[in-house]
Amino acid sequence: MEEAHVICHQGLYVEDQKDGTFLTGFWVVRPEHIREGLVFALHETKATRSYLQGVVLRLTEVRKDRTPSGRRQRRVQLLVRKTPASLPWRGGGTGEKGLVWS
């Protein structure tokens, strides 16, 4: 994966680390798809450019939980170094995530 774009309204659960980095909150993405250097971008909508974006420094935590139907899922939290240039939405799918593979 080269880029991950997600819908995240008003920075919900995003934590600014005051050192040029931020924690992303938790997202359902397979941990094995996360790597240092991955571009991670937060958008209000798919039609708008990202309002916060950067390069993944590391995966900080994996939480395991279950959906209401009982299916297991893993949610990852990432530490991201901010970059200034906003990005257009990329990736397919109809949900809250757009993942672009290399």
Each residue of 16-65: pLDDT tens digit? 999 999 999 999 988 998 999 999 999 999 999 999 999 999 999 999 99
Domain boundaries defined on the chain? 3-85
Find where tokens 């008003």 sit: 10
Each residue of 50-64: pLDDT tens digit? 999 999 999 999 999
| pTM of the model as a whole | 0.89
